Amino acid sequence: MVLWGTLVNTFAIILGGIMGLALPKLSQGIKATVMQGLGLAVAVQGVTMALKTNNLLIVIGSLVIGGVLGELLKVEQGLEKLGVQLEGFVGSRAKGKVAAGFVSTTLIYCVGAMAILGSIDSGVRLNHDMLYTKSMLDGFSAIIFASTLGVGVLFSSLPVLLYQGAIALSATLITSLISPGMLEAITAELTSVGGILIIGIGLNILEIKKINVANLLPSVVVAALLVPLVSYFS
C-alpha cells in the first residue's frame, strides 16, 4: 500500500500528541526548560541538515526568491489564520497557543529529507522503513511538544498526511522524469534549505528572534526547480 508509511507517521503524531496532553500538568519552570532544550535540539538538527548543500548559491537564491514569494502569498498569515480557526474549533482559551503549536510542529514534521525521501521510497518501492523511523522520532517528539505547546500539535498530523501522501502518490511520475543523480542533487539542496528553515523554528522556540519561517516555505519548491536549471546551464 503506497500510503501505508504516511498513515503510520500520521497516527504516530496523533498518538504521541494525545500522550503528551495526558501528561500531568508541568510547572512553568519545567515547561520553559524543556522548550529551551527542544529549541536547541531543533536548531542543531537544522544546522546538520543545512550543511548537506553542494551549492550554497542555490540555497541563497532559493531563500531570496522563496522569501519574496512567501511574503506575497502571505503563507505565514494563512497558517496562523488556520491555527486561530482551530483554536475556535477546540475552544482553546490560550490565545495563539494552538496556532503556534500547529505552525511550528507542521514545519518540523514536513520540512526534512526523511519526509521527502521516505515518501518517495514508499511510492516507488513500497518500502516504508524510512517513514517508520520518522514515525518513531515524530511520535516521541509529539509527546514533548504536546505537553508544552498543547493540542495544536495533534492538528499538524493533517498536513503531514496530505504532504507526504502527495509525494508518495506522485513519486512514480517524479522518478520517471529525472535521473537518480539529479534526484540526489535535488534532495541535497532541499535538505539544506529545509535545515535553514528548521534553524529558524529553533530560534522561534527559544524566543531569540521571531522569524517568519512559513513565508520561507516556497524556498523548498524554488530549490527543487533551481537545481535542474543550474545543471542545464552549467
When pLDDT is cut at 50, 70 and 90, the band that residue 113 belongs to is low
pTM for this one?
0.75
Neighbours of 52 (CB within 10 A): 17
On whether the CB atoms of residues 131 and 9 are closer than 8 A, the answer is: yes
In this predicted model, what pLDDT tens digit does every residue of 58-107 receive, in sequence order? Answer: 999 999 999 999 999 988 888 777 766 766 665 555 555 777 788 888 88
Confidence at residue 71, expressed as pLDDT on a 0 to 100 scale: 93
Measure CA of the first residue to CA of the last residue in the chain; give whole Å.
40
pLDDT of residue 180: 82
The 10s digit of each residue's pLDDT in 183-207 is 889 888 988 888 898 898 889 888 8
CB 107 within 8 A of CB 198: yes
Report the pLDDT value the prediction gives residue 90, as an integer from 0 to 100: 58
Give the pLDDT confidence score for residue 164 in this predicted structure: 93
The DSSP letter of residue 24 is P
CB 195 within 8 A of CB 47: yes
